[in-house]
Amino acid sequence: MNALKQIHFYKLGSLAAIILVASLPMNAAAKDPYQRFMDSPDAATAFQYIHQVATHPRCANCHGVVDDSGSFYPTVGANRKPHPMNITIANNVILYQEGESYKQVEGVVLSCRSCHRDANGDKEGMPPGNATAAMPGFVWHMPQPNMTIPIGISAQSLCKKWLDPAHNSSHLAYRGGKDDLDTFKTEFFEHHAKLDPLVAWSWSPGPGREKAPGEHQDFIRAVGVWIDSGAPCPDK
């Protein structure tokens, strides 16, 4: 956002003065969380930026929603509409680890993998995809229902959810969580932020989709700054 709309030059005798006319209040609140983190990186600005990224449709769509009837499905598009063709968790690809690679459990008839391949479709409306050698076999799939990123979730709630093994079955939480920040950092920073092709995809989402805020490299840096400061949660 460009807060400085006009710059006026006045010549007052021999004194040249530059008067900046701001069209918006120049307080920090006018900037978005990404800009605030870039301007003054600390644990608080880092987590606000992480929250901005995670609640963006590029991340949140794949994490899915649980609706009033209890059905759990991925969402699509900027407004997080239910995935077309009644795709739900029943269509999920189930992965297990074998050495350094991920393998798929066979038997899901119409799985994410039937449409979502190793790269984005090249036209608008085609299924996105991403897979890389950094995590071989880690293909397009959705997480478990306790990892949803509900519309409007506060930064504090998201932070607590990620750090608390009682509310989350992810590797981040159950291998580490708030009681073991070294492991939490390995899982979140080294593994998820840096290497996970699904996270990386959010900044290269294919034709017709807005990328997640900021840049992947800055997101990685924010995760590092936040965890190295003890992973504090915001008070709202």
Q: Please identify which residue in the block is written with the tokens 């509409």.
A: 81
Nearest approach, Cβ of residue 16 and ligand HEC (Å): 47
Q: Of 55, 53, 35, 54, which Cα lies nearest the Cα of 45?
A: 35
Nearest approach, Cβ of residue 29 and ligand HEC (Å): 24
Please give the distance of CA 83 from its chain centroid, rounded to a whole number.
19
CA–CA separation, 105 vs 197, rounded Å? 20
Binding site for ligand HEC (CB under 6 A): 53-54, 57-59, 61-63, 74, 76-77, 83, 85, 87, 91-92, 110, 112, 114-116, 125-128, 140-143, 147, 162, 168, 170-173, 192, 198-199, 201-202, 209, 212
Nearest approach, Cβ of residue 2 and ligand HEC (Å): 26
Closer of 37 and 201 to ligand HEC (Cβ): 201
Both structure tokens of 191: 């593994």
Nearest approach, Cβ of residue 104 and ligand HEC (Å): 12
3-state secondary structure of 112: helix
Residue type, 125: G
Closer of 38 and 115 to ligand HEC (Cβ): 115
Closer of 35 and 88 to ligand HEC (Cβ): 88
Q: Of 152, 141, 145, 114, which Cα lies nearest the Cα of 201?
A: 141
Nearest approach, Cβ of residue 149 and ligand HEC (Å): 8
Closer of 127 and 150 to ligand HEC (Cβ): 127
Residue pair 74/61 in contact by the 8 Å Cβ criterion: yes
